Amino acid sequence: MLSERRLQVLRAIVQDYVGTEEPVGSKALTERHSLGVSPATVRNDMAALEDEGYIAQPHTSAGRIPTDKGYRLFVDKLAGVKPMTGPERRAIQNFLDGAVDLDDVVARTVRLLAQLTRQVAVVQYPSLTRSTVRHVELLSLAPARLMLVLITDTGRVEQRMVDCPAPFGETSLADLRARLNSRVAGRRFADVPHLVEDLPDAFETEDRGTVTTVLSTLLETLVEENEERLMIGGTANLTRFGHDFPLTIRPVLEALEEQVVLLKLLGEAGDSGMTVRIGHENAYEGLNSTSVVSVGYGSGGEAVAKLGVVGPTRMDYPGTMGAVRAVARYVGQILAES
Partner DNA sequence: GTCTGGCACTCTTCACATCCGAGTGCCAGC
Partner DNA sequence: GCTGGCACTCGGATGTGAAGAGTGCCAGAC
Task: Name the site residues for DNA (rule: CB under 7 A).
Answer: 5, 23-28, 36-41, 43-44, 46-47, 50, 57, 59-64
User: With respect to a copy of itself, which residue has the nearer C-beta, 15 or 237?
Assistant: 237
Only one of the segments 55-63, 147-155, 190-198, 262-270 lies at the binding site for a copy of itself (rule: CB under 8 A); that segment is 147-155
Distance set, CA 149 to CA 73, 133, 160, 180 (Å): 48, 11, 7, 12
| In the complex, least distance from residue 314 CB atom to DNA, rounded to whole angstroms | 16
∠ CA 36-40-41 to the nearest 5 degrees? 50
Q: How far apart are CA 326 and CA 113, in angstroms?
A: 10
Residue 249 lies near a copy of itself (rule: CB under 8 A): yes
CA separation for the pair 31, 289 (Å, rounded): 30
Report what 64 binds from a copy of itself, DNA, none; CB cut-off 5-8 Å by kind.
DNA
Indicate which of DNA, a copy of itself, none lies near residue 50 (CB less than 5 to 8 Å, by partner kind): DNA
d(CA 56, CA 39): 17
Does 246 engage in binding with a copy of itself (CB under 8 A)?
yes
Binding mask 192-211 for a copy of itself (x = CB under 8 A): --------------------
CA 107/CA 232 separation, integer angstroms: 8
Smallest distance from a copy of itself to CB 80, Å: 32
Distance, CA of 321 to CA of 273 (rounded, Å):
11
Number of alpha helices (DSSP H) and beta strands (DSSP E) in the chain? 13, 10
By a kind-dependent CB cut-off of 5 to 8 A, residue 260 interacts, out of a copy of itself, DNA, none, with none
Among the listed residues 234, 7, 207, the one whose alpha carbon sits nearest the alpha carbon of residue 109: 234
Residues engaged in binding a copy of itself (CB under 8 A): 101, 134-135, 137, 139, 141, 147, 149, 151, 155, 157, 159-161, 233-236, 238-239, 245-246, 249-250, 253-254, 256-257
